[in-house]
Structure 1
Amino acid sequence: MERKKRKKGMYREGHPYKKGKEQKGRAFHLVGDKPIYEVGGFISKDEFKEYRANFKKCNPFKPEQFENVGGHLFGLGEVMKLISQPGCHGIRIYYGLKRVKKKFHPQLMIVGVYKDGADMTDHTLILDASMPCPDYCDPT
């Protein structure tokens, strides 16, 4: 599938994506000083617990309108299919709401990202069908 051309001036002044230096004949876009495929970092277990607690405490969803979802499980096989797409240098996660009867269910949608920072939405692999928590939560 051919990728759509990016419109001229897509990167506005001050946008975090910048054209990077030439590396083996190819230009890599950077976020700060890192190529797309190196963006991210790990947090401690304590930070994880703190962020989860903050979300539970500040969750803006109204129970009568929204299903309470605190997390999503994606199988490694499906994630590997997504990141194994030709040209994939990272992933981007979007939030969405899926209407099920009279309630909205929070959804996470994961798309691959090209080295220039563009979403790989021209591909058919957009990962969504997760197992939400609750009911599929960490048993510990």
Structure 2
Amino acid sequence: MPKRDKFHGDVGQFLTGKDAVDRTIRYKKHKEVDQKCAPDTYIRGEFFGINRINSLLGRKDCVGIRIYYGKRYEDKDENPVDEGRGELKSRLVIVGVRADGTDIFDDKTGLKGDGDGDALGDGYTCPRHCAP
């Protein structure tokens, strides 16, 4: 795919189901080996609802999303806890992106309360909520 200067709605490639499965299996295998993790002790994926994703995509000037890797402290039931308590877990942060490549969550109005939808996080994690 040729490199483009603008961010737009057609960035990214669809994968075959086999390629997607192969990539996730490879990640799981290397995560367990590299960090000596048991299979059910690290987050392999997160589920986010379509209504939440559509809300991000519907923001003014949004042409796509960016997914950041983040971390937060959680208890054993995946509830957030104060820094230094519980366990530090990897979690995804999804934000809308403008055509110039800037993140939409940089809007200062998002500083009130629990947020106004500037970013999306705290999806259902796998292995806890994996596909049946």
Larger helix proportion, structure 1 or 2? 2
How do residues 42-121 of structure 1 correspond to structure 2 at under 5 angstroms? Answer: 42-59=14-31, 60-61=34-35, 63=37, 67-100=41-74, 101-121=85-105
Deviations 1:27-83, CA, capped at 9 Å, x for gaps: xx2xxxxx521101110111011101110111144649xx41111000000001110
CA distance in 2, matches of 1:132, 1:44: 23
Q: Is the 1:36–1:117 Cα contact (8 Å) retained in structure 2?
A: no
- The amino acid that maps onto 2:101 is G
| 3-state DSSP of counterpart to 2:65 | strand
Larger strand proportion, structure 1 or 2? 1
Unaligned runs of 5+ in 2: 75-84, 111-117
Runs of 4+, deviation exceeding 2 Å: 60-64
- The amino acid that maps onto 1:109 is V
- The amino acid that maps onto 2:98 is Y
Deviations 1:83-137, CA, capped at 9 Å, x for gaps: 0001000100000111123311110000000011111122432000201011111
Using the size of structure 1 for normalisation, the TM-score is 0.69
Does residue 120 of structure 2 align to residue 127 of structure 1?
Answer: yes
What value does the CA root-mean-square deviation take over the aligned residues? 1.9
Unaligned runs of 5+ in 1: 1-15, 19-28, 30-34
Using the size of structure 2 for normalisation, the TM-score is 0.73
